[in-house]
Amino acid sequence: MHIGVIGAGIVGLASAYQLLRAGHEVTVIDAARAPGLGTSFANGGQLSYGYVSPLAAPGVLSQLPSLVFSRTGPLRIKPSLDPDFWRWSLEFVRHCNARANADSTLRLLALGLHSREVMLEFLAQESASFAYRLSGKLVVYRDAGKLAAAERSLELANGLGYPQRRVDAATCATLEPALGRIAGELAGGIHTPGEGTGDCQMLCTELARIVGAHERGTLRFEHEVTGFDIRGNAVRAVRTRTEDIAVDACVVANGLAAAPLLRAAGEPVSMYPLKGYSLTYCDAPADARPQVSVTDADNKVVYASLGARLRVAGIADLVGYDYRIAAHRIDALRTLSAALFPSLRGTPAPLEWTGMRPSTPHGRPILGRAEKVGNLWLNVGHGALGFTLSMGAARAIADAIDGKRPAVDLAGFARLAA
């Protein structure tokens, strides 16, 4: 089959790679001039397979008033007149309960662990350079109550055979010496040795290289998709501004921008941007490059060494499609980074970036066949976990297209209509 894949971010390129492996002819179509220039560009670099709990959780509802009025917290909500904002928010609130949270966490954990397997297979088969490390992940808590709550969800991962353990403050400082400076403030942490880190944009570039070098792979950059030629409930061609590209099937994997395309095709999905920020310190001093990837749970900030660089990422702002870098938000990341790694003071200014997580209300990506258009497949809405989940989601979609039973049950990743 000739399969069109819309989007050359991490999700589209992983899909293209898996479809080529399955024997299909693949054309990747992207509006940008190069791979990985969207949300995949400078994310936190975490391959957080076992740390997948969605934002929609019971405790969030009681925090809503402070989230709406705070300018400085790690989460911020700016109410908007946009009907999509209200539809998304109402669905989000509907999922802020223990049952929905546990259901989503279990499904995401299954997809995360499948992704880890597929990623390890990819690493064994391809020579891809993307600053990947089996770094392990340490999530540190200042609040003993929050640590105790996190310990409960650790049982889920352990139950699935994926080791996670609670560690005390002294062990946190042994795992990452920079934490010694704040060990007195810490209640402890959760350590997951199987997690990895890497540069998502570099992996996009590597996947594009592999796809482009394959005899059945084609990449079309600077081709903005405007819609589909749909006849008899099947996509015949993908419409771009310059040409129609004939396909036998199509995988929609263009992140947040999939929402208007799918709506026009009669397959609306509920997705909204959750804006985040990152800093990249190039040539970071050795003592500002953590050995283990560190998550500061209270401030919701992640730190990852990517070769000689330190990537710091965080913040979740529900502020609509506003692509500007807000000085007070990026400054907050800079202040937190310098407090943990004082040697960053006096280094050249880091690269600043903002990106939009393509978020669904329940925090699960939307994976599977469209409802009305039989040969249209969805791989969108990966929110805060697209780098982590990309490989498993891509394999699951490729399996489903081939009529094989995917390793994860796609029924748990059905779309929520917008």
Ligand X SMILES: Cc1cc2nc3c(=O)[nH]c(=O)nc-3n(C[C@H](O)[C@H](O)[C@H](O)COP(=O)(O)OP(=O)(O)OC[C@H]3O[C@@H](n4cnc5c(N)ncnc54)[C@H](O)[C@@H]3O)c2cc1C
Q: Which residues bind ligand X (CB under 6 A)?
A: 6-12, 29-32, 37-40, 43-46, 48, 224-225, 253-255, 257, 276-278, 302, 313, 355, 357-358, 382-388
CB of 170 to ligand X, least distance (A): 27
Judged by CB, which is closer to ligand X: 277, or 413? 277
Whose Cβ is closer to ligand X: residue 169's or residue 389's?
A: 389
Minimum CB distance to ligand X smaller for 193 or for 227: 227
CA 357 from centroid of its chain's CA atoms: 7
CB of 44 to ligand X, least distance (A): 3
Residue with token string 């208007």: 260
The phi, psi pair for 134, rounded to 5°, reads -80, 75
Task: Rank residues 12 and 361 by Cβ distance to ligand X and give the closer one.
Answer: 12
Report the 3 state secondary structure along 368-416.
EECCCCCCEEEEECCHHHHHHHHHHHHHHHHHHHCCCCCCCCHHHHCCC
Closest CB to ligand X among 97 and 226?
226
| CA distance linking residue 389 with residue 358, whole number of Å | 13
Question: In the complex, what is the shortest distance from the CB of residue 413 to ligand X, in angstroms, rounded to a whole number?
Answer: 14
Residue with smaller CB distance to ligand X, 43 or 375: 43
User: Closer to ligand X at the Cβ: 74 or 276?
Assistant: 276
Beta pairing, strands 188-192 & 217-220: unpaired
Output the smallest distance, CB 190 to ligand X, in A. Answer: 16
Least spacing, CB of residue 76 vs ligand X, in Å:
14
369 neighbors 309 (Cβ within 8 angstroms)? no
Read off φ and ψ for residue 366, nearest 5 degrees. Answer: -105, 115
Contacts of 350 (CB under 8 A, 6+ apart): 279, 280, 281, 282, 312, 334, 337, 344
- Contact yes or no for 304/311 (Cβ under 8 A): yes
Alpha-carbon span 405 to 403, nearest angstrom: 7
Q: Are 87 and 312 in contact (CB under 8 A)?
A: no
Q: Which residues of 125-150 are buried (b: 16+ CB within 10 A; e: fewer)?
A: eeebebbbbebbbbbbbbeeeebeeb
Q: How far is the CB of 6 from ligand X (least distance, A)?
A: 5
CB of 307 to ligand X, least distance (A): 16
Residue number with CB closer to ligand X (187 or 290)? 290
Q: Tell me the closest approach of the beta carbon of residue 173 to ligand X, in angstroms.
A: 23
Give CA–CA dist 6/22, Å, rounded: 18
